[in-house]
Structure 1
Amino acid sequence: MSFKIAIIGAGSVGFTKKLFTDILCVPEFRDVEFALTDLSERNLQMIKSILDRVVEFNRLPTKVTATTDRRAALEGARYIISCVRVGGLEAYADDIRIPLKYGIDQCVGDTICAGGILYGQRNIPVILDFCKDILEVAEPGAKFLNYANPMAMNTWAAIEYGRVDTVGLCHGVQHGADQIAEVLGAKSRTELDYVCSGINHQTWFIDLRLNGRKIGKDELVAAFEAHPVYSQQEKLRIDVLKRFGVYSTESNGHLSEYLPWYRKRPDEITRWIDMSDWIHGETGGYLRYSTETRNWFETEFPQFLESAARPIDPAKRSNEHASHILEALETNRVYRGHFNVKNNGIITNLPQDAIIESPGFVDRFGINMASGITLPEACAATCISSINVQRMSVHAAISGDIDLLKLAVLHDPLVGAVSTPEEVWQMVDEMVVAQARWLPQYADAVPAAKERLSKSRIKTREWAGAARRDVRSIEELRAEKTALKQAV
């Protein structure tokens, strides 16, 4: 088979390499063309040299091109994969730093909450530019696979306003299933059958069966509480499991910032999180991890390049959905996964216009979702709170209405648990001014926001957060990796 796959934001080096090798695990895909595009010429050349090394070592006919000209990369593409982070780590740092001044402590800040909402404001205009190019120069009927966060907002904008065939993809469900299989003593995840449904980063395992036997709440709670690691790392998730009756897909840190109960006070944050790794609730944890990962890659690039000269092993193909979706569409080998699409009756007790994440099957006829799913009421209520925030955020991003943006932030569960309306209004002004270069839709609102900030008397504080860690140096990272190897 010969067709073109464009990857936007291909400078996300590790993830791009994973997608690339996954796709090349499909024998029929050895002749495809990969067109890489990114704003950074330097990052593009680094990832291209890595992928070229993979192709050369495995003696493949695969073609890899790289260009900062996005339309050239998209021209004739059948599939477009987006991994973009608009504003990079510079804007992301403000997503964490500015809300902290108002007492809002986030672990990740890329889905909702103050950081995720502003992230969506930066991404959505760019996503619509992608959609415009796809409609104009890609292969007719091209499919847009969005991996970029905030997943629901980006996918919502691409479907409703971009008018492109779009599916949002995430790996949270797979990671949650791996945990459940482990605590239940399964030999592999294939023994676990499950229905997981909700919205991205708030998806719920509403039906669990181990080798055909239904697993109830009490058995699952007991299994997690008995686990020597997860009982400490996932205290918040286990508490939600006890109260809601079902397990959430998302990590302790992710889940903590979508709810109004666990990160509202510093003492509560330290009670519920675990500092063994960023993903369990550390303040700004993903920002620190992303910064360290970037620094490590830039320093250790020769090592990454050398490690690319290895055989592609289909047995090591990851559980990221993209390669499996492409394989199903092109070869008709049926694939079952969890996909982000517009609801339209798939989940009966969530709004019809929402972007939901739920089970579906893929074959040559497309992505076919299992419909008629009803969530437990507590899960639906939590999802609806986020959906309302997402809807307002998308509409604000499209219209450039800063008042609607402030209302979206005000209605966020964690923001509402921590901040007053006056604080929210000032915080949004501050974030929009700080990120103005990435927010063209708010250009007319920036002068007035600056004027309001100059007259404001609302007190803020310089606060690192309840559980902040410093970015580690390359030397510290190298010593840690050496110690881990020696321990093994």
Structure 2
Amino acid sequence: MSKLKITVIGGGSSYTPEIIEGFIKRREELPVSEINLVDIEAGREKLEIVGNLAKRMVKKAEVDIKINLTTDRREALKDSDFVVTQFRVGGLEARAKDERFPLKYDVIGQETTGPGGFAKALRTIPVMMDICKDIKELCPNAFLINFTNPSGLVTEAVNKFTDVKCIGLCNVPVHMKMNFAEILEVSPEDLYVDFAGLNHLVWVKNVWLKGEDVTMKLIDIMTDGETMSMKNIPPMPWDRDYLKALGCIPSPYHRYYLMSDKLLEEEKKAASPEGDGTRAEVVKKVETRLFELYKDEELKEKPKELEKRGGAYYSEAAVSLISAIYNDKKEVHVVNVVNNGTIKDLPADCVIERNCLIDRRGATPITLKEELPIEALGVVQAVKAYEVPAVEAAVKGDKDKAFLAMANHPLVPSVEVAKKLLEELFEINKDHLKQFKF
């Protein structure tokens, strides 16, 4: 097997031990000889800390993988076979602002959706466009595996405005499948879960256990909020009557749309002087503790404390996808991919999250046997009506498209509020939004 070169952009992330562990576990099927961990100059200290842990991990596992730490992105990308992106423009400080500024307008503040998610997309997509220019020049045959949030919007921008081979990835579908297996007390390998929708807004149409449809059985025993939530979303129980009537299972992120009033109340409480802080502020404390652990030269494996960061199954999703492509496995994975008519009531060129066949060609979405019910499709269409102009605004610096995107988002209550939110978003983020003329 030919040797593989992997480049991870955002290599100083606290998530990096996850992906290193993934490559170690798959040493027999992925001949990785070199992993480049790349970060910006401001992230050099974290890159050194997490990179040295990565070196200790591969040494302990006795795998022949060279770990390179660099701030020279172009040098790292040269001749790479796979590029993984997991960066955060503006860091957790920017995320905390994203989560706080909408609250004063009684609008949910969140990392990947609503005004906060829009701010993150506007900061992130131009950087990704620059990365794609480098990929086309330095490693044109590489696959770009994008984990950078908001993953659906970033992946849509890459697929619409570049010809880089890009697949978007999220750990939510894997997390949901693992939860289903736990609830049903079965092996995850015995389940087939049919996903369709958007990133962080994906629906489960059906769950099969060894060929038996157990969707309604699963809905019937989903009784508490903890079993179907994520670290970064307050656990709230689903309304059983609603799920039974719909016959589909929502992702944890649907709470932002289906329980907006309760989530807004929770966020305001957390952001108050008496609260624990926004999710970004909580994560910042977790990361501080993690990097203290990472500094320990006796630590030679991914610490269990990383689970508190919210990235469960990250390495499983990322490395298994890379293996499926490289080994032409023709496996089914849930990824973000160009729609191409898979969900008929969405634009053909937009990006959706769907079960796909993965092989050397990349990701081919599996045709839906039955369309999403209109009751489930409605929120997907509403959010896509925000995402399409949001992507265009981010790439072209178009203020009109930015305004339309903000006004279209279902979490924003009015055009008037949308205008105020956009003005504040621009003011807070102007140093990162060079594509716009202020």
TM-score interval w.r.t. the shorter chain?
A: 0.7 to 0.9
Any gaps of 5 or more consecutive residues in structure 1? 311-315, 446-488
SS in 2 for 1:187: coil
The residue that corresponds to 2:247 in the other structure is: 245
SS in 1 for 2:135: helix
Structure showing greater radius of gyration is: 1
User: Within 1, Cα distance between the matches of 2:331 and 2:215?
Assistant: 27
Q: Aligned partner of 1:407: which letter? A: L
Q: Deviations over 1:19-59 (max 9, x none)?
A: 12212322143542101111111111112101111122222
1:283-362 correspondence to structure 2 within 5 Å = 285-303=278-296, 305-308=297-300, 320-362=316-358
Report if the CA contact (8 A) 1:186-1:192 is conserved. no
Report if the CA contact (8 A) 1:144-1:167 is conserved. yes
The residue that corresponds to 1:436 in the other structure is: 430
User: Within 2, Cα distance between the matches of 1:237 and 1:8?
Assistant: 40
TM-score (norm 1): 0.79
What is the count of residue pairs matched by the alignment?
416
* 1:203 to 2:195 alignment: no
The residue that corresponds to 2:378 in the other structure is: 381
1:103 is aligned, of 102, 106, 122, to 106
User: Within 2, Cα distance between the matches of 1:347 and 1:396?
Assistant: 24
TM-score (norm 2): 0.87
SS in 2 for 1:35: strand
The residue that corresponds to 1:235 in the other structure is: 237
Report if the CA contact (8 A) 1:345-1:372 is conserved. no
The residue that corresponds to 2:218 in the other structure is: 220
Deviation at 1:422, TM superposition (A): 2.5
For residues 415 and 240 of structure 1, do their structure 2 counterparts lie closer, same or farther at Cα, with a shift above 3 Å needed? farther
Report if the CA contact (8 A) 1:30-1:61 is conserved. no
User: Within 1, Cα distance between the matches of 2:326 and 2:18?
Assistant: 20
Deviation at 1:91, TM superposition (A): 1.3
Deviation at 1:294, TM superposition (A): 1.8
Report if the CA contact (8 A) 2:6-2:34 is conserved. yes
For residues 263 and 239 of structure 1, do their structure 2 counterparts lie closer, same or farther at Cα, with a shift above 3 Å needed? farther
Deviation at 1:192, TM superposition (A): 2.0
Alignment RMSD, CA only?
2.8
For residues 29 and 213 of structure 1, do their structure 2 counterparts lie closer, same or farther at Cα, with a shift above 3 Å needed? closer
Q: Aligned partner of 2:182: which letter? A: E
User: Within 2, Cα distance between the matches of 1:117 and 1:231?
Assistant: 25
The residue that corresponds to 2:156 in the other structure is: 156
SS in 2 for 1:414: coil
User: Within 1, Cα distance between the matches of 2:313 and 2:100?
Assistant: 37
Report if the CA contact (8 A) 1:195-1:208 is conserved. yes
Deviation at 1:133, TM superposition (A): 0.4
Deviation at 1:195, TM superposition (A): 1.1
User: Within 2, Cα distance between the matches of 1:171 and 1:55?
Assistant: 24
Any gaps of 5 or more consecutive residues in structure 2? 230-234, 303-311
Deviation at 1:208, TM superposition (A): 1.6
Deviation at 1:229, TM superposition (A): 5.0
1:264-275 correspondence to structure 2 within 5 Å = 264=261, 269=265
Q: Deviations over 1:366-392 (max 9, x none)?
A: 323212452121221111111110001
* 1:396 to 2:393 alignment: yes
The residue that corresponds to 1:461 in the other structure is: none
User: Within 2, Cα distance between the matches of 1:231 and 1:408?
Assistant: 29
